[in-house]
Structure 1
Amino acid sequence: MDFETIRTTTLDFVREHQAWAPVITGIIAFCESLAVLSFLVPATVILLGIGALLGATDIPFLPVMIGAAIGAILGDWVSYEFGRYYKEGSKRIWPLSRYPAMVEKGEEFCRRWGAWGIFVGRFIGPARAVVPLIAGVFAVSRLHFQLANVSSAFVWAFVWLAPGAGVVQFWPGK
Protein backbone atom coordinates (compact mmCIF):
# COMPACT_ATOMS: atom_id res chain seq x y z
CA MET A 1 0.00 0.00 0.00
CA ASP A 2 1.41 3.39 -0.95
CA PHE A 3 1.30 6.63 1.08
CA GLU A 4 -1.50 8.17 -1.00
CA THR A 5 -3.74 5.15 -0.40
CA ILE A 6 -3.05 5.27 3.34
CA ARG A 7 -3.82 8.98 3.44
CA THR A 8 -7.02 8.71 1.43
CA THR A 9 -8.29 5.66 3.32
CA THR A 10 -7.60 7.27 6.70
CA LEU A 11 -9.26 10.57 5.84
CA ASP A 12 -12.29 8.78 4.36
CA PHE A 13 -12.60 6.71 7.55
CA VAL A 14 -12.43 9.82 9.75
CA ARG A 15 -15.05 11.53 7.58
CA GLU A 16 -17.40 8.54 7.86
CA HIS A 17 -16.74 7.78 11.55
CA GLN A 18 -16.35 11.21 13.10
CA ALA A 19 -16.74 9.97 16.67
CA TRP A 20 -13.47 8.08 16.23
CA ALA A 21 -11.53 11.16 15.09
CA PRO A 22 -9.71 11.75 18.43
CA VAL A 23 -8.63 8.10 18.68
CA ILE A 24 -7.55 7.86 15.05
CA THR A 25 -5.66 11.14 15.31
CA GLY A 26 -3.97 9.86 18.47
CA ILE A 27 -2.89 6.66 16.74
CA ILE A 28 -1.51 8.62 13.79
CA ALA A 29 0.38 10.99 16.11
CA PHE A 30 1.73 7.97 18.03
CA CYS A 31 3.02 6.47 14.77
CA GLU A 32 4.53 9.83 13.77
CA SER A 33 6.34 10.08 17.11
CA LEU A 34 7.55 6.50 17.50
CA ALA A 35 11.13 6.12 16.30
CA VAL A 36 10.57 3.23 13.88
CA LEU A 37 7.00 3.81 12.71
CA SER A 38 7.66 7.45 11.90
CA PHE A 39 9.61 6.30 8.85
CA LEU A 40 6.65 4.31 7.54
CA VAL A 41 3.55 6.45 8.18
CA PRO A 42 2.75 9.65 6.21
CA ALA A 43 1.39 11.22 9.38
CA THR A 44 2.11 14.87 8.67
CA VAL A 45 -0.02 14.88 5.52
CA ILE A 46 -2.78 12.94 7.29
CA LEU A 47 -2.79 15.32 10.26
CA LEU A 48 -3.08 18.32 7.96
CA GLY A 49 -5.95 16.55 6.19
CA ILE A 50 -7.69 15.83 9.49
CA GLY A 51 -7.31 19.51 10.39
CA ALA A 52 -9.07 20.39 7.13
CA LEU A 53 -11.81 17.86 7.91
CA LEU A 54 -12.32 19.54 11.27
CA GLY A 55 -12.91 22.82 9.48
CA ALA A 56 -15.32 21.24 6.97
CA THR A 57 -17.37 19.09 9.36
CA ASP A 58 -18.90 19.23 12.83
CA ILE A 59 -16.01 17.34 14.44
CA PRO A 60 -14.99 19.30 17.56
CA PHE A 61 -11.42 20.57 17.52
CA LEU A 62 -10.37 20.18 21.17
CA PRO A 63 -10.88 16.39 21.58
CA VAL A 64 -9.02 15.74 18.33
CA MET A 65 -6.16 18.03 19.37
CA ILE A 66 -5.96 16.29 22.77
CA GLY A 67 -5.97 12.89 21.03
CA ALA A 68 -3.10 13.98 18.79
CA ALA A 69 -1.14 15.34 21.76
CA ILE A 70 -1.62 12.15 23.81
CA GLY A 71 -0.55 9.99 20.86
CA ALA A 72 2.56 12.12 20.33
CA ILE A 73 3.41 12.03 24.05
CA LEU A 74 3.13 8.25 24.16
CA GLY A 75 5.15 7.75 20.96
CA ASP A 76 8.01 9.90 22.20
CA TRP A 77 7.85 8.30 25.64
CA VAL A 78 8.14 4.77 24.20
CA SER A 79 11.05 5.89 21.99
CA TYR A 80 12.78 7.50 24.99
CA GLU A 81 12.38 4.39 27.16
CA PHE A 82 13.59 2.18 24.31
CA GLY A 83 16.74 4.30 24.02
CA ARG A 84 17.20 4.31 27.78
CA TYR A 85 16.89 0.52 27.98
CA TYR A 86 19.00 -0.43 24.94
CA LYS A 87 21.42 2.51 25.16
CA GLU A 88 24.05 2.42 22.37
CA GLY A 89 22.68 -0.92 21.16
CA SER A 90 19.54 0.82 19.94
CA LYS A 91 21.57 2.41 17.16
CA ARG A 92 22.44 -1.04 15.78
CA ILE A 93 18.76 -2.03 15.39
CA TRP A 94 16.87 -1.51 12.12
CA PRO A 95 15.98 1.06 10.84
CA LEU A 96 18.43 3.25 12.76
CA SER A 97 21.30 0.99 11.70
CA ARG A 98 20.54 1.98 8.10
CA TYR A 99 20.67 5.73 8.81
CA PRO A 100 23.83 6.38 10.83
CA ALA A 101 24.12 9.96 9.54
CA MET A 102 20.62 10.78 10.78
CA VAL A 103 21.40 9.23 14.16
CA GLU A 104 24.60 11.29 14.36
CA LYS A 105 22.61 14.45 13.60
CA GLY A 106 20.15 13.50 16.35
CA GLU A 107 23.02 12.99 18.79
CA GLU A 108 24.54 16.35 17.92
CA PHE A 109 21.12 17.96 18.30
CA CYS A 110 20.73 16.43 21.79
CA ARG A 111 24.24 17.46 22.82
CA ARG A 112 23.65 21.01 21.67
CA TRP A 113 20.13 21.58 23.00
CA GLY A 114 19.74 19.11 25.89
CA ALA A 115 16.14 18.78 27.10
CA TRP A 116 15.12 21.74 24.93
CA GLY A 117 16.07 19.55 21.99
CA ILE A 118 13.06 17.35 22.72
CA PHE A 119 10.75 20.37 22.48
CA VAL A 120 12.40 21.82 19.38
CA GLY A 121 12.99 18.42 17.76
CA ARG A 122 9.27 17.67 17.62
CA PHE A 123 8.92 20.40 14.98
CA ILE A 124 11.81 19.25 12.77
CA GLY A 125 10.81 16.32 10.56
CA PRO A 126 13.91 14.10 10.55
CA ALA A 127 14.82 14.99 14.14
CA ARG A 128 11.34 14.07 15.37
CA ALA A 129 12.05 10.45 14.51
CA VAL A 130 15.23 10.07 16.57
CA VAL A 131 15.57 12.80 19.21
CA PRO A 132 13.48 11.07 21.92
CA LEU A 133 15.34 7.81 21.35
CA ILE A 134 18.73 9.55 21.51
CA ALA A 135 17.58 11.44 24.64
CA GLY A 136 16.97 8.04 26.21
CA VAL A 137 20.39 6.76 25.11
CA PHE A 138 21.99 9.85 26.67
CA ALA A 139 19.86 9.31 29.80
CA VAL A 140 18.32 12.79 29.79
CA SER A 141 16.44 12.97 33.09
CA ARG A 142 12.91 11.59 32.86
CA LEU A 143 11.46 14.72 34.44
CA HIS A 144 13.13 17.06 31.94
CA PHE A 145 12.24 14.75 29.08
CA GLN A 146 8.58 14.55 30.09
CA LEU A 147 8.25 18.30 30.66
CA ALA A 148 9.54 18.95 27.15
CA ASN A 149 7.61 16.00 25.71
CA VAL A 150 4.19 16.98 27.12
CA SER A 151 4.47 20.71 26.50
CA SER A 152 5.73 20.31 22.94
CA ALA A 153 3.08 17.69 22.09
CA PHE A 154 0.21 20.07 22.82
CA VAL A 155 1.81 22.91 20.88
CA TRP A 156 2.65 20.54 18.00
CA ALA A 157 -0.90 19.15 17.84
CA PHE A 158 -2.36 22.65 17.76
CA VAL A 159 0.08 23.81 15.08
CA TRP A 160 -0.72 20.89 12.74
CA LEU A 161 -4.49 20.82 13.21
CA ALA A 162 -5.55 24.43 13.80
CA PRO A 163 -4.89 26.00 10.38
CA GLY A 164 -7.05 23.48 8.52
CA ALA A 165 -9.69 23.55 11.23
CA GLY A 166 -10.03 27.31 10.87
CA VAL A 167 -9.36 27.89 14.57
CA VAL A 168 -7.46 31.03 13.68
CA GLN A 169 -10.77 32.73 12.79
CA PHE A 170 -11.86 32.51 16.43
CA TRP A 171 -8.86 34.40 17.83
CA PRO A 172 -9.57 37.87 19.21
CA GLY A 173 -9.08 40.59 16.64
CA LYS A 174 -9.69 38.27 13.66
Structure 2
Amino acid sequence: MHVDELLQAIPAVWIYVLVGLVIGIESLGIPLPGEIVLVSSALLAAKGVVDPLWVGACAGVGAIVGDSIGYAVGRRGGKPMFDRLGRRFPKHFGPEHIGRAERYFHRYGMWTVFLGRFVALLRILAGPLAGALRMPYWRFLVANVLGGIVWAGGTTAVIYYLGMAAERWLRGFSWVALVVALLFGVATTLFVKRRAARAVAETSGEPGVAEGDPEAGQAGSPVGAG
Protein backbone atom coordinates (compact mmCIF):
# COMPACT_ATOMS: atom_id res chain seq x y z
CA MET A 1 0.00 0.00 0.00
CA HIS A 2 1.37 3.42 -1.00
CA VAL A 3 1.64 6.31 1.46
CA ASP A 4 -1.23 8.26 -0.12
CA GLU A 5 -3.50 5.17 -0.01
CA LEU A 6 -2.63 4.66 3.66
CA LEU A 7 -3.39 8.30 4.46
CA GLN A 8 -6.77 8.17 2.70
CA ALA A 9 -7.78 5.26 4.94
CA ILE A 10 -7.52 7.27 8.19
CA PRO A 11 -9.53 10.29 9.49
CA ALA A 12 -8.32 13.78 8.59
CA VAL A 13 -7.39 14.72 12.17
CA TRP A 14 -5.05 11.74 12.39
CA ILE A 15 -3.42 12.76 9.12
CA TYR A 16 -2.49 16.08 10.72
CA VAL A 17 -1.13 14.29 13.78
CA LEU A 18 0.79 11.83 11.60
CA VAL A 19 2.36 14.63 9.56
CA GLY A 20 3.56 16.42 12.68
CA LEU A 21 4.85 13.27 14.36
CA VAL A 22 6.71 11.82 11.37
CA ILE A 23 8.37 15.13 10.50
CA GLY A 24 9.17 15.81 14.16
CA ILE A 25 10.76 12.39 14.69
CA GLU A 26 12.72 12.75 11.44
CA SER A 27 14.01 16.13 12.63
CA LEU A 28 15.21 14.47 15.83
CA GLY A 29 17.72 12.55 13.72
CA ILE A 30 15.72 9.36 13.12
CA PRO A 31 15.45 8.57 9.39
CA LEU A 32 11.74 8.62 8.46
CA PRO A 33 9.98 9.58 5.19
CA GLY A 34 8.89 13.01 6.44
CA GLU A 35 8.97 14.68 3.05
CA ILE A 36 7.01 11.84 1.43
CA VAL A 37 4.30 12.08 4.10
CA LEU A 38 4.11 15.86 3.65
CA VAL A 39 3.88 15.67 -0.15
CA SER A 40 1.26 12.91 0.01
CA SER A 41 -0.81 14.90 2.52
CA ALA A 42 -0.60 18.03 0.34
CA LEU A 43 -1.86 16.01 -2.63
CA LEU A 44 -4.74 14.77 -0.49
CA ALA A 45 -5.48 18.41 0.32
CA ALA A 46 -5.68 19.11 -3.42
CA LYS A 47 -8.35 16.40 -3.59
CA GLY A 48 -10.30 17.95 -0.71
CA VAL A 49 -9.56 15.18 1.79
CA VAL A 50 -7.73 17.45 4.28
CA ASP A 51 -7.17 21.19 4.81
CA PRO A 52 -3.84 22.41 3.33
CA LEU A 53 -3.48 25.07 6.06
CA TRP A 54 -3.59 22.43 8.77
CA VAL A 55 -1.18 20.21 6.86
CA GLY A 56 1.35 23.03 6.53
CA ALA A 57 0.89 24.14 10.14
CA CYS A 58 1.37 20.65 11.58
CA ALA A 59 4.39 20.07 9.37
CA GLY A 60 5.96 23.36 10.49
CA VAL A 61 5.35 22.68 14.19
CA GLY A 62 6.74 19.16 13.86
CA ALA A 63 9.85 20.43 12.08
CA ILE A 64 10.56 23.20 14.61
CA VAL A 65 9.88 21.13 17.73
CA GLY A 66 11.74 18.08 16.41
CA ASP A 67 14.81 20.11 15.46
CA SER A 68 14.81 21.83 18.87
CA ILE A 69 14.73 18.51 20.72
CA GLY A 70 17.43 17.21 18.38
CA TYR A 71 19.57 20.24 19.23
CA ALA A 72 19.22 19.51 22.96
CA VAL A 73 20.09 15.83 22.43
CA GLY A 74 23.13 16.71 20.32
CA ARG A 75 24.36 19.30 22.81
CA ARG A 76 24.14 16.76 25.62
CA GLY A 77 25.63 13.81 23.70
CA GLY A 78 28.30 15.70 21.74
CA LYS A 79 30.54 14.12 19.13
CA PRO A 80 30.82 10.77 21.00
CA MET A 81 27.11 10.23 20.34
CA PHE A 82 27.68 10.49 16.59
CA ASP A 83 30.63 8.11 16.83
CA ARG A 84 28.36 5.49 18.43
CA LEU A 85 25.59 6.10 15.92
CA GLY A 86 28.08 5.83 13.07
CA ARG A 87 29.11 2.36 14.18
CA ARG A 88 25.51 1.20 14.52
CA PHE A 89 23.96 2.99 11.53
CA PRO A 90 26.75 3.68 9.03
CA LYS A 91 24.26 4.24 6.20
CA HIS A 92 22.89 7.39 7.83
CA PHE A 93 25.50 8.44 10.41
CA GLY A 94 28.74 7.16 8.91
CA PRO A 95 31.93 9.28 9.13
CA GLU A 96 31.50 10.47 5.54
CA HIS A 97 27.98 11.81 6.18
CA ILE A 98 28.89 13.44 9.49
CA GLY A 99 32.09 14.93 8.06
CA ARG A 100 30.24 16.43 5.11
CA ALA A 101 27.57 17.92 7.37
CA GLU A 102 30.23 19.38 9.65
CA ARG A 103 31.91 21.07 6.70
CA TYR A 104 28.60 22.68 5.80
CA PHE A 105 28.24 23.96 9.36
CA HIS A 106 31.76 25.37 9.51
CA ARG A 107 31.32 27.07 6.16
CA TYR A 108 27.74 28.37 6.30
CA GLY A 109 26.90 28.46 10.02
CA MET A 110 23.22 29.06 10.76
CA TRP A 111 22.36 28.97 7.04
CA THR A 112 23.06 25.24 7.22
CA VAL A 113 20.10 24.85 9.60
CA PHE A 114 17.82 26.95 7.39
CA LEU A 115 18.80 25.41 4.04
CA GLY A 116 19.32 21.97 5.56
CA ARG A 117 15.55 21.66 5.91
CA PHE A 118 15.44 21.25 2.11
CA VAL A 119 18.21 18.58 1.92
CA ALA A 120 17.55 15.00 3.04
CA LEU A 121 20.94 14.47 4.73
CA LEU A 122 20.98 17.78 6.60
CA ARG A 123 17.29 17.57 7.50
CA ILE A 124 18.11 14.59 9.71
CA LEU A 125 21.43 15.88 11.08
CA ALA A 126 20.93 19.65 11.39
CA GLY A 127 19.44 19.77 14.89
CA PRO A 128 21.62 17.20 16.68
CA LEU A 129 24.80 18.31 14.92
CA ALA A 130 24.17 22.00 15.66
CA GLY A 131 23.91 21.08 19.34
CA ALA A 132 27.01 18.89 19.28
CA LEU A 133 29.02 21.68 17.61
CA ARG A 134 27.80 24.17 20.24
CA MET A 135 26.07 26.56 17.84
CA PRO A 136 24.60 29.42 19.93
CA TYR A 137 20.99 28.50 20.59
CA TRP A 138 19.52 31.85 19.50
CA ARG A 139 21.16 31.47 16.09
CA PHE A 140 19.89 27.93 15.82
CA LEU A 141 16.38 28.94 16.90
CA VAL A 142 16.08 31.74 14.32
CA ALA A 143 17.27 29.51 11.48
CA ASN A 144 15.17 26.59 12.73
CA VAL A 145 11.91 28.55 12.94
CA LEU A 146 12.38 30.30 9.59
CA GLY A 147 13.49 27.11 7.84
CA GLY A 148 10.63 25.07 9.27
CA ILE A 149 8.00 27.62 8.24
CA VAL A 150 9.38 28.17 4.73
CA TRP A 151 9.92 24.45 4.06
CA ALA A 152 6.60 23.21 5.47
CA GLY A 153 4.46 26.05 4.17
CA GLY A 154 6.22 26.30 0.81
CA THR A 155 6.18 22.57 0.10
CA THR A 156 2.52 22.26 1.06
CA ALA A 157 1.48 25.26 -1.05
CA VAL A 158 3.45 24.20 -4.13
CA ILE A 159 2.25 20.59 -4.09
CA TYR A 160 -1.33 21.65 -3.28
CA TYR A 161 -1.62 24.07 -6.20
CA LEU A 162 0.23 21.74 -8.57
CA GLY A 163 -2.14 18.94 -7.60
CA MET A 164 -5.20 21.08 -8.25
CA ALA A 165 -3.82 22.28 -11.58
CA ALA A 166 -2.90 18.74 -12.61
CA GLU A 167 -6.39 17.42 -11.87
CA ARG A 168 -8.03 20.17 -13.95
CA TRP A 169 -5.52 19.71 -16.76
CA LEU A 170 -5.78 15.93 -16.91
CA ARG A 171 -9.56 16.02 -17.13
CA GLY A 172 -9.33 17.46 -20.63
CA PHE A 173 -6.58 15.20 -22.00
CA SER A 174 -6.17 11.56 -22.84
CA TRP A 175 -4.00 8.97 -21.05
CA VAL A 176 -1.20 9.94 -23.43
CA ALA A 177 -0.98 13.34 -21.75
CA LEU A 178 -0.71 11.59 -18.38
CA VAL A 179 2.21 9.48 -19.62
CA VAL A 180 3.96 12.57 -20.99
CA ALA A 181 3.47 14.37 -17.67
CA LEU A 182 4.88 11.44 -15.72
CA LEU A 183 7.91 11.17 -18.01
CA PHE A 184 8.53 14.89 -17.66
CA GLY A 185 8.33 14.61 -13.86
CA VAL A 186 10.78 11.69 -13.78
CA ALA A 187 13.22 13.50 -16.09
CA THR A 188 13.05 16.66 -13.98
CA THR A 189 13.64 14.71 -10.77
CA LEU A 190 16.67 12.93 -12.22
CA PHE A 191 18.10 16.23 -13.48
CA VAL A 192 17.70 17.93 -10.09
CA LYS A 193 19.23 14.96 -8.25
CA ARG A 194 22.22 14.92 -10.62
CA ARG A 195 22.82 18.64 -10.14
CA ALA A 196 22.51 18.30 -6.37
CA ALA A 197 24.96 15.38 -6.30
CA ARG A 198 27.45 17.39 -8.37
CA ALA A 199 27.12 20.38 -6.03
CA VAL A 200 27.69 18.18 -2.97
CA ALA A 201 30.75 16.59 -4.58
CA GLU A 202 32.22 20.02 -5.39
CA THR A 203 31.58 21.26 -1.85
CA SER A 204 33.18 18.15 -0.34
CA GLY A 205 36.34 18.82 -2.33
CA GLU A 206 36.80 22.42 -1.15
CA PRO A 207 40.41 22.83 0.07
CA GLY A 208 39.43 25.30 2.79
CA VAL A 209 37.21 22.78 4.56
CA ALA A 210 39.22 19.63 4.08
CA GLU A 211 39.15 17.02 6.80
CA GLY A 212 42.76 17.66 7.53
CA ASP A 213 42.02 21.23 8.63
CA PRO A 214 42.69 21.27 12.38
CA GLU A 215 39.98 23.87 13.05
CA ALA A 216 37.30 21.89 11.20
CA GLY A 217 38.18 18.74 13.09
CA GLN A 218 37.82 20.06 16.62
CA ALA A 219 35.04 18.16 18.34
CA GLY A 220 33.57 20.91 20.46
CA SER A 221 34.43 24.00 18.43
CA PRO A 222 31.53 26.49 18.47
CA VAL A 223 29.77 27.31 15.27
CA GLY A 224 28.96 30.99 15.35
CA ALA A 225 29.22 31.96 11.72
CA GLY A 226 26.14 33.67 10.43
The 1:52/1:6 distance shift into structure 2, 3 A limit, reads closer
The whole-number CA distance in structure 2 between the counterparts of 1:167 and 1:81 is: 37
The whole-number CA distance in structure 2 between the counterparts of 1:120 and 1:111 is: 14
TM-score by length of 2: 0.64
Alignment correspondent of 1:7: 3
Q: CA deviation at 1:159?
A: 2.5
Alignment correspondent of 1:163: 158
Question: CA contact under 8 A between 1:107 and 1:131: conserved in structure 2?
Answer: no
- Whether 2:122 is the aligned partner of 1:127: answer yes
Q: CA deviation at 1:46?
A: 1.9
Q: Of the candidates 61, 76, 85, which is equivalent to residue 70 of structure 1?
A: 61
Kindly report the root-mean-square deviation, in angstroms, between the aligned alpha carbons of the 2 structures.
2.2
Q: CA deviation at 1:87?
A: 1.1
The whole-number CA distance in structure 1 between the counterparts of 2:37 and 2:106 is: 31
Q: Among all aligned residue pairs of Structure 1 and Structure 2, give the percentage whose two residues are the same amino acid.
A: 26
- Whether 2:85 is the aligned partner of 1:94: answer yes
Q: Of the candidates 12, 16, 37, which is equivalent to residue 18 of structure 1?
A: 12
The unaligned stretches of length 5 or more in structure 2 are 165-226
Q: Of the candidates 22, 27, 30, which is equivalent to residue 24 of structure 2?
A: 30
The 1:32/1:85 distance shift into structure 2, 3 A limit, reads same
The unaligned stretches of length 5 or more in structure 1 are 170-174
Q: CA deviation at 1:31?
A: 2.5
The 1:27/1:9 distance shift into structure 2, 3 A limit, reads farther
Tell me, what secondary structure is at the counterpart of 1:105? helix
The whole-number CA distance in structure 1 between the counterparts of 2:145 and 2:163 is: 23
Q: CA deviation at 1:21?
A: 2.7
The whole-number CA distance in structure 1 between the counterparts of 2:109 and 2:87 is: 21
